[in-house]
Amino acid sequence: MEINPQLVKQLREKTNAGMMDCKRALAEAGGDFEKAETILRTKGIASAGKKASRATKEGIVASYIHLQGKVGVLLEVNCETDFVAKNENFRAFVKDITLHIAAAHPLYVSRDQVPPKTIETEREIYQAQVKDKPANVVGKIVDGKLDKFYSTVCLLEQGFIKNPDQTINDLAKAKIAELGENIVIRRFTRYLVGEPLEDEAATTAA
């Protein structure tokens, strides 16, 4: 089936998928634009996990200042190409993440960044809380409390402020499917006026 190049171009502009992916989707959809878009999105979501292993050496550093200068966020998000880094859709996603960080105050990007000592301390607290429970359920309860802890302090596991039923990780996967490139939220720093620095906090605790 001969696919209209203009239709391929329109589908690429709307979905940000690759040119050949758009052409194949239109061929599979028999030239139906809306059906082709659905095919692209379905396949994109299915392949988002595969994209996660691809190198991300482009991207942007974004900033956000909130509450009349009382809260500030610096965030680095990486992608595969400069083309996507300049894409308005990608930049809108990054902006949403800075807004979320300002409001939700995560401490880490993912659970593998949580210091082992912090995890050990939390586990000890939870074990003390359930010490009177039957031994065969203590482990599950503690693990459940740890998962709740991660969902509070880890950015990727927090519910998105604009849609609490969707985690930041789910939001990122959806954006990977939409843009057709791997996206990695690499690092962030959140500033709050007057908050103690680590050295100051340690001194106070001592």
Q: Per residue in 139-163, pLDDT tens?
A: 899 999 999 999 999 999 999 999 9
HSE of 12, CA atoms in CB hemisphere, 13 A: 15
Secondary structure (3-state) at 197? coil
Bridge partners, residue 191, by sequence: 72
The rounded distance, in Å, linking the Cα atoms of 114 and 156 is 13
Domain definitions of the chain by residue range: 5-51, 58-112+154-205, 115-150
Question: CATH number of the domain at 5-51, please?
Answer: 1.10.8.10
Secondary structure (3-state) at 182? coil
Comparing 30-34, 55-59, 98-102, 136-140, the range with the smallest average pLDDT is: 55-59
The per-residue b/e assignment along 75-112, b for 16 or more CB within 10 angstroms, e otherwise, is bebbbbeeebbebeebeebbebbbbbbbebebebbebe
Comparing 53-67, 92-106, 181-195, the range with the smallest average pLDDT is: 53-67
Q: For residue 101, which of 68, 69, 59, 63 has the smallest C-alpha distance?
A: 63
The CA distances from residue 187 to 13, 70, 98, 143, in Å, are: 29, 21, 11, 26
For domain 58-112+154-205, say whether CATH 3.30.479.20 is its number.
yes
- What pTM does this model have? 0.71
205, pLDDT greater than 60:
no
53, pLDDT greater than 70:
no
The rounded distance, in Å, linking the Cα atoms of 109 and 171 is 14
DSSP code, position 167: E
Q: DSSP E strands: which ranges in the chain?
A: 58-66, 71-79, 159-160, 163-167, 184-192
Residue 42: its pLDDT value, please? Answer: 73
Secondary structure (3-state) at 106? coil
